[in-house]
Amino acid sequence: MDIRTIATQPFNDQKPGTSGLRQTVPTFQKPNYLENFIQSIFDSQDNYQGKRLVLGGDGRYYNRTAIQTILKMAAANGVGRVLVGQGGILSTPAASCLIRKYQAFGGIILSASHNPGGPEGDFGVKFNTANGSPAPAEVTETIFAKSKAIQEYQILDADDVNIDQLGEYQLGEMTVEVVDPVADYADLMASIFDFDAIRKLLASGFSMVMDSLHAVTGPYAKEILENRLNAPAGTVRNSEPLEDFGGGHPDPNLVYARELVETMYGDNPPDFGAASDGDGDRNMILGRHFFVTPSDSLAILAANADLVPAYAKGITGVARSMPTSQAVDRVAKQLGIDCYETPTGWKFFGNLLDAGRVTLCGEESFGTGSNHVREKDGLWAILFWLNIIAKRGQSVEEIVKEHWQTYGRTYYSRHDYEGVDKSSATKLMDNLRSGLSDLPGKQFRGYEVTLADDFSYTDPIDGTTAEKQGIRIVFKDGSRIVFRLSGTGTHGATLRAYLERYEPNQDQQNQNPQTALADLIQIADEIAQIKTFTGRDEPSVIT
C-alpha cells in the first residue's frame, strides 16, 4: 500500500457554516483545496481508525471526482470501511439514516443543498457525526482550526474505485462498500408511515405530482411513490439527478420550482404537489391553487402526528428555528408539550432529539424532520402529508383552513435579498444592532415595540451558547420582524427579513399574506433601512 504524504499550505476561507463548507466549484478545484479540508476533518476526529464512514452526495458537478479523492484519503488515514452510495448518490437524510443504522463514526456529505450546480456552480462538503447530525459548533471550530494550521495530507496512490457497481472493493487495507442509496431509507419510511392507507389514497383517483428538480430525490421518490406506493408512472417529474440540475435552481420555493407552481395553479391541477431540493432535505407542499408555508406545515404535522403510526402514541415535544413562525407554539401549548426555539441550523436540534426532548422539528426554510434521522427530510415531510390526507379524507386547503380555524392563522413571509454586497449587508446589521436598545416603546404604523434583541441560545442539554443568531423585533400584539444574514450562499450575502402577524379572527384569515403584512413590510424597511444599505427596491425571492 503506497500512502503518500503531500506538503500543502493552509487556505484562509475554509470555515464551515451552518451546513459545512460551501464554495464555488472552481474554488474546490484549486490544488489541495478539497484535500486540505478533508484532512482537517480526519484530524479533528479521535479513534476513528478501523471504523465505518458514510460517503455520498447529491450528484452535482464535481461529486464523483471528490468521492474518489476522499476514498483514497480515507484509506490513507486508517478508516476501516466506507459505505458509498452507488454512483456517488446519497441524499442528506439517507446519509443520516445510514450513519445511524450501521453505527458509522460519521459521514461526509457532498452537497451545496439548494444552490445551483454545474462547472461554475457551487459545491459543498459537510461532516456529520456518529448520531447522524451535522457536526456541532465545537467540531466545526476544530476542523477550521486544523485547516488554518495544516502542513500536509495523506492520500493513497491507487486506481479509482468503480462506484457504479454494487459490491465490495479493497482500497489498500480499507473496504469500500458500494451500497444501494435508496433501499435502507425507503425501508425506514415504510416503518414510519401507513403505506397501505397511502396506497389506497393513490388508487382512489387522488392525483399528485412530485418534482425532484433533477436533484437527488428522483431515485428515492420513484422507488417509494411509484414502485412501493403504486403511484402512476410519471408521478415523479425531473427524476434523473443531473450534474447541473438541468440548468435549474434546485430550491423548492414558489420562484425556483416554477414548473410545479404553474401546474398546481393551472387549469385542472392535481390534488397534491410537492418538490424537494438539491440534497433532498427540503420540501414544498402545494394543494390545488394553494401554497402551504413551511411554518404552517410544521404546525399541521405536529397537530396531526397521531395519524402516523410512528407517532401515534404521542410526541414528546417540538422545536423550531427562531425565524420560523410561532404557529407550532400554539399547537404545542394545546397538546401540553414543550416547544423549543433554537438558532437556524439543523445541528441545534440534534441534542434535543438525542435527549428525547422533541419528536418533530422544523425551519421556515422549507425544512422539517423528526427523530427518525438527525437531518431535515423532504420526502419524509411529503409522505407525512400524504398520510394525513389519506386518514382525514380532506384536501390540502381544507386541512390548512381547518387548522387556522382551530389555532388561528399566522400570516408569515420571508423576503430574501440575494447577492447583496457583503460589506453593505454587514453595515446594515451593525446599524440595526447599535439601535436595538432605543426601539422598545417606540411605535411604527400603530405597532408598539416591546422587545428588540440579538437572539442568543443556550443549549438546555450541554449548556453551550450561540450568540448573534438574528435580530428580533417583537411588537405588543405578538407580531415579529426578524433579520438575518444567511450563510448558505457563495456569492455576496443574502439578507433575510422574516415577517409575522397572528390573526385569530376567522373572518380575517383569507387575505393575501403580502397584503396582511403590508405594514410590517414597510416597518422592516424603515427600521433596517434596507433600500439605503442594499440599493434594492424589492426582494429577490418572496416566500
Beta bridge partners of 421: none
Count of residues for the chain? 543
Q: Which residues form the catalytic set?
A: 113
How far apart CA 238 and CA 214 sit, in angstroms, is 5
Task: Give CA separation, 161 vs 63, 106, 158, 168, 180, in Å.
Answer: 14, 21, 9, 10, 16
* Residue 296, C-alpha cell as written in the block: 404552517
How far apart CA 231 and CA 221 sit, in angstroms, is 10
8 Å CB contact between 55 and 94? no
Taking Cα atoms as reference points, which of 262, 241, 261 lies closest to residue 253? 261
How far apart CA 33 and CA 255 sit, in angstroms, is 33
Largest CA distance in the chain: 74
DSSP letter at 406 equals: H
Q: In what order do the strands lie in the sheet with 471-475?
A: 443-444, 447-454, 471-475, 480-486, 493-503, 409-420, 541-542
Q: Which residues of 207-237 are buried (b: 16+ CB within 10 A; e: fewer)?
A: bbbbbbbbbbbbbbbbbbbbebbebeeebbb
Q: Count CB atoms within 10 A of the CB of residue 166.
A: 11
How far apart CA 436 and CA 466 sit, in angstroms, is 19
Taking Cα atoms as reference points, which of 448, 466, 446, 447 lies closest to residue 456? 466
Beta bridge partners of 114: none
Place of cell 423550531: 320
* Residue 514, C-alpha cell as written in the block: 403580502
* Residue 412, C-alpha cell as written in the block: 408569515
3-state SS class at 87:
strand
3-state SS class at 371:
coil
